[in-house]
Amino acid sequence: MSADRCRFCRANGLLLDAAIGETEHFYILPSADPAMPLAAMVIPHRHSETPFEMTAHEWADFPNALGAAQALMVANEPDGFTLGWNVGAVGGQNVFHTHLHIIPRFATEPLAGKGLRHAFRNAHLLKDAI
Domain ranges, residue 121: 3-129
Residue 15's pLDDT band, with cuts at 50, 70 and 90, is confident
Contacts of 81 (CB under 8 A, 6+ apart): 70, 73, 102, 103, 104, 105
Terminal CA-CA length for the chain: 28
The phi-psi region of residue 111 (left if phi > 0; otherwise alpha if psi is between -120 and 50; otherwise beta) is: alpha
Task: Give the pLDDT mean for 81-108.
Answer: 94
* pLDDT value, residue 14: 80
* pLDDT value, residue 130: 45
Of all residues in the chain, the percent with pLDDT exceeding 90 is 65
With a cut of 50, say whether residue 102 has pLDDT above it. Answer: yes
Q: How far apart are CA 17 and CA 122, in angstroms?
A: 34
| Domains held by the chain: number | 1
116: domain CATH number is 3.30.428.10
**How much is the mean pLDDT over the chain?**
88
* pLDDT value, residue 128: 53
